[in-house]
Amino acid sequence: MGLLTIGTFAKASRLSPKALRLYDELGLLTPARVDPVSGYRLYAPEQLDRARLVAWLRRLGMPLARIQHIGTLEPAAAAQEIRTFWAQVEADTAARRDLASFLIDHLSRKDSAMSQATTPLEIRYAALSDPGLARSGNQDTVHAGARLLAVADGYGSEGARASAAAVDALRHLETDGLPAGSLLDVLEDAVELAQHAVNGSAGSGTGTGAEAGTTTSASTTSAASSSSPASPEEVGTTLTAMLWTGSQLALVHIGDSRVHLLRDGELFQMTHDHTLVQSMVDEGRLTPEEAAAHPQRSLLLRALGPGAGGRPDLHLHDARRGDRYLLCSDGLSTVVTTEEIHRVLSGTGDPEQAVRELVALANGSGGPDNVSCVVADVVETQE
């Protein structure tokens, strides 16, 4: 078969002549020959496979630069690149879906009585942070109050300052009134304040926070920063916080700290880790078991701090009487199994006892990292 005209090639490849001219200009799909007199582009039949691949990838919404890169790869590597791209698309779609759900739920309540429960509810809570057995300092910060629950896990030479700055930026939510119908704006503003505070804390010098390892029913705990050197770009923190509105909990999450919900005897993980290994699990490149032992399991893809990227996840969650929530840093989740966490949360009546038992389990498993927990129970308001 001889060379194909651009019209014939466009029909066979499902690409328009206009697209083919653009891809030629970009070097993505160069014609086999260009007639020197007429300037007509002519294509070889063996170019159809590449052209069809380009058409399919464009239908996926893949950027042209990435398609050009895929065209240089062997089939197996190209397949992996497509798998990675699609996992990112699904993650972005999930984030937009969460935001859409948040907005739908938020707007559905805007003209109502703001989801007033039949029985007034409140939260009973406790927090505990401990340096663990292998670290000289504690870079976690926890807070538990009548309206705000938060865990931040700092990293880098000023990690303690970063985590404390992030939580301090949210502290005003304990006392400020929440404008009806503006919860989403409140959360966005709070996270922006936290980001600026963390950026400002980077490189500000090493200091000492409050004593770690204390438990109170309304507490903020932070401790001295790590002595390991790091540039400001390597300083930051995770942030996972819940804001109690009377019958709902608004969740802000970025990083790999976690929130678990114990409801009707079942334990649910409410957050998704923003880590390299979790993205590899999402892409099917690792099993959860392989991820747990991966040497880069603590490498974050999203965090607060200079050079850190990504936006936090936002959720609006209806609370029920009898719910129990756990916020924890990865110092707990990486060494204590979900089954053990479930056992403690379901078998321990008092939040203070629960946080002590969870921290003891982490230290009993070697305590390789700082560990912080907040436990909050939803109860009827006491008259």
Residue 268's pLDDT is: 94
Phi-psi region of 43 (alpha: psi -120 to 50; beta: other; left: phi over 0): beta
d(CA 201, CA 92): 30
Distance from C-alpha of 272 to C-alpha of 224, rounded to nearest angstrom? 28
Q: What is the pLDDT of residue 109?
A: 58
**What residues form DSSP beta bridges with 374?**
127, 327
Distance separating alpha carbons of residues 200 and 65, to the nearest angstrom: 36
Ranges under pLDDT 70 in the chain: 1, 95, 98-99, 101-103, 105-118, 176-182, 184, 202-233, 383
pLDDT attached to residue 182: 66
Enter the tokens of residue 145. Answer: 């109050």
Helix (H) or strand (E) holding 126: strand 121-130
pLDDT of residue 213: 39
Provide the β-strand partners of residue 24: none
Give the per-residue pLDDT at 102.
Answer: 63
The H or E element spanning position 249 is strand 248-254
Strand runs labelled E in the chain: 4-5, 33-34, 41-43, 121-130, 140-144, 148-155, 215-216, 219-222, 236-237, 239-244, 248-254, 258-263, 266-269, 313-318, 324-328, 371-380
